[in-house]
Amino acid sequence: MYRGSPPGPLVPHLKVAMQKRILIVDDSDSTRGLVREFLESRPDFEVCGEAVDGLEGIEKGRELNPDLIVLDYSLPRINGLQVAVILHVLVPNTPIILFTFYKDVIPIRMAHEAGIAAIVSKSDQLTILADEVQRLTGWKN
């Protein structure tokens, strides 16, 4: 019989199991840092990895099997749409958000055919990105 709170190890384990794991793929250190900081300020999100280019994003997506991927369009070596096509094959149940300044010039149909679930502009507030992450991971708060 416990007096007061249950033993400590049970509570942190439960918290970790409930968090949604997110991979951020962006060549900008400052953008990755801001997105990480903002998403991790919410108790339901954990950034499980970061990648600085498309090929590393593919590798980390396969290795980490995240709950969601935030993917920049303009990346070195291979662009975000090409990355999305490959990731959609490797981790087909993982939603991908294209996070870009080019939202208005990327055809939505082309993005969806590449496996993109949503497009969010980098010029929008980060709350819009967080709302999309919540929506696409099915998080009920």
Query: Is 140 part of any domain?
Result: no
| Mean confidence (pLDDT) of the chain | 87
Query: Is 52 part of any domain?
Result: yes
Query: Is 5 part of any domain?
Result: no
Q: Is residue 103 very low, low, confident or very high in pLDDT (cuts 50, 70, 90)? A: confident
CA angle 117, 101, 65 (to 5 degrees): 40
Q: CATH no. for residue 76?
A: 3.40.50.2300
Query: Is 73 part of any domain?
Result: yes
pLDDT, residue 120, reads 95
Question: Are residues 109 and 136 in contact, defined by beta-carbon separation less than 8 angstroms?
Answer: no
Longest dimension (CA), the chain: 62
Q: How many distinct structural domains can be found in the chain?
A: 1
pLDDT for residue 12 is more than 60:
no
Query: Is 2 part of any domain?
Result: no
Query: Is 1 part of any domain?
Result: no
- What phi and psi values does residue 101 have, to the nearest 5 degrees? -80, -10
pTM summary value:
0.84
Question: Are residues 9 and 54 in contact, defined by beta-carbon separation less than 8 angstroms?
Answer: no
